[in-house]
């Protein structure tokens, strides 16, 4: 019964993507998707909640805690969009993405989020761009595909094992021996990796991606980063100011970089507005 329901929810997630032109083999920008559905999206500084979905009649609003890692915020946004599209009532989510969800609606919202952000075709396409399959990729490659899809490293590994069944438990164990912090430290040793600072390992196969980052995040792979928005570090660029820019990446690709203030609180549509200069 639950399996049948999950299959239906997965189908709903894929059709939500397709309705607004997100192809099944590329990342889905969940913040843009929420806006296209006409829902209000707000980032809050409530530390005790991952997110919440409010339904006040016709349309609802989604609130996401700004005090979570980027991949976690995307997953929460997709989970709350799931509550909306699956016709659930208002939900207050203290801690989502536990494999042991306590209600059918929570399980379904998680299933929706996994298939929205990580459809099988997109996961395989990410690894294929690296010349790999999920079964033979190393932790750094999992980290790169997770960043590209906008999800956490562990979230992608768990999904590849338990939802898609593309790796076995021994491979899962091997991958989880490495932490995202260790991977970041190894790729860019010159940065002190504290807090929720993210590493965005941009490469040619990211062409067309829409990346949501924040001031303090570290980016690799940029060809002559804009000095208006980045400090140049040792083998990397560090985001320094808010704005939306198009950037060239090694491997002749172009990506859109949306840079927010650190821990931005407020409405999504104002998240990347550069602060007005005082006269």
Min dist CB 13 to Zn ion, Å, is 15
Copy the structure tokens of residue 5: 């329901």
# residues near Zn ion by CB under 5 A: 4
- The residue among 84 and 142 lying less far from Zn ion, judged by its C-beta, is 84
Interface with Zn ion in residues 99-128 (CB under 5 A) = 106, 109
Min dist CB 91 to Zn ion, Å, is 4
Min dist CB 35 to Zn ion, Å, is 20
Min dist CB 83 to Zn ion, Å, is 6
Among 29, 50, 93, 97, binds Zn ion (CB under 5 A): 93
Q: Which residue is nearest to Zn ion (CB)?
A: 93
- The residue among 94 and 278 lying less far from Zn ion, judged by its C-beta, is 94
Copy the structure tokens of residue 275: 């602060």
- The residue among 109 and 124 lying less far from Zn ion, judged by its C-beta, is 109
The reply on whether position 91 binds Zn ion by CB under 5 A is yes
User: Considering only 23-31, 89-97, 137-145, 254-262, which stretch makes contact with Zn ion by CB under 5 A?
Assistant: 89-97
Min dist CB 222 to Zn ion, Å, is 36
- The residue among 29 and 93 lying less far from Zn ion, judged by its C-beta, is 93
Min dist CB 274 to Zn ion, Å, is 34
- The residue among 97 and 217 lying less far from Zn ion, judged by its C-beta, is 97
Residues lying near Zn ion in the complex (CB under 5 A) are found at 91, 93, 106, 109
């Amino acid at each position: 019964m639950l399996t049948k329901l999950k299959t239906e929810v997965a189908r709903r997630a894929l059709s939500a993507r397709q309705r607004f032109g997100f192809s099944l083999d590329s990342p889905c920008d969940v913040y843009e998707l929420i806006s296209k559905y006409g829902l209000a999206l707000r980032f809050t500084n409530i530390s005790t909640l991952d997110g919440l979905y409010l339904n006040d009649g016709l349309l609802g609003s989604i609130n996401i805690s700004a005090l979570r890692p980027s991949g976690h915020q995307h997953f929460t946004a997709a989970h709350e969009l799931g509550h909306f599209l699956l016709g659930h009532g208002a939900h207050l989510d203290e801690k989502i993405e536990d494999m042991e969800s306590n209600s059918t609606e929570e399980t379904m919202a998680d299933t929706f989020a996994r298939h929205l952000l990580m459809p099988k075709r997109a996961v395989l396409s990410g690894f294929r761009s690296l010349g790999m399959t999920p079964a033979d990729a190393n932790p750094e490659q999992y980290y790169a595909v997770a960043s590209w899809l906008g999800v956490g490293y562990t979230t992608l590994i768990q999904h590849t094992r338990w939802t898609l069944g593309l790796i076995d438990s021994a491979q899962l164990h091997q991958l989880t021996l490495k932490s995202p912090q260790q991977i970041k430290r190894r790729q860019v040793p010159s940065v002190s990796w504290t807090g929720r600072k993210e590493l965005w390992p941009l490469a040619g196969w990211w062409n067309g991606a829409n990346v949501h980052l924040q001031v303090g995040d570290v980016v690799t792979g940029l060809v002559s980063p804009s000095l208006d928005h980045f400090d140049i570090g040792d083998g990397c660029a560090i985001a320094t100011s808010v704005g939306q820019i198009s950037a060239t990446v090694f491997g002749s690709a172009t990506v859109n970089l949306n840079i927010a203030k650190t821990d931005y609180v407020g409405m999504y549509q104002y998240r990347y507005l550069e602060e007005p200069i005082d006269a």
